[in-house]
Amino acid sequence: MSPATSSKYVTEFRVQDLDHAPWLPANAKPLLEKILSQSAIWTGWVEGKVVAICGLTMIHPHYGHCWTYLHHEALAHRYWLHRRTKRILHNYVRASELWRVDAVCVESHVAASVWLDRLGLKRESGPMPFYGPQGETMVRHVWFPRGING
């Protein structure tokens, strides 16, 4: 669906989308500008507001790291947003022929772990103390699209 026919849609990320996402952390804009050339990034919109920015950053030709910024209003649209995110992510991973995709989340954030699990990533590691940007304890989730033996 195009933006003209729906109040909920996903677009390819543009730096200008950040003007519609004042809720993002202060370091998001320079970080997104830095990784843009090696990432596939998309923006989730609801009624003209950015509620999600999701992406997959290529670390190596066979390995990508996925990540998500979600506005608290995204929760009200979680089913639609999750289906779209999963479809985009899986299509991109398939086209890129990746062997490994991973993501990290705060250990105590149950909803983030559920989000990653439903995207197809399974918890790989135990607690990683002080791994997060503010010293949070994180856990890693992983997906092997071609199977564990590649």
Q: Are strands 138-143 and 39-46 parallel, antiparallel or unpaired?
A: unpaired
* DSSP letter for each residue of 99-140: SEEEEEEETT-HHHHHHHHHHT-EE----BTT-STTS--EEE
pLDDT digits 0-9 by tens, 108-146: 999 899 999 999 999 997 899 999 988 999 999 999 999
Q: Which two tokens stand for residue 67?
A: 């990540």
19-31: pLDDT as tens digits: 999 999 988 999 9
Q: What is the pLDDT of residues 87-99, one digit of tens each?
A: 999 999 999 999 9
Confidence of residue 4 (pLDDT cuts 50, 70, 90): low
Determine the Cα–Cα distance for residues 51 and 53; give it in Å rounded to an integer. Answer: 7
Tokens of 25: 């952390």
Give the best-scoring range by mean pLDDT among 69-73, 75-79, 101-105. Answer: 101-105
- Round to whole Å and give the CA distance between 47 and 56: 25
Q: What is the pTM of this model?
A: 0.87
Phi, psi of 131 (to 5 degrees): -80, -30
- Using DSSP's 3-state secondary structure scheme, residue 25 falls into coil
> pLDDT band at residue 75, thresholds of 50, 70 and 90?
confident
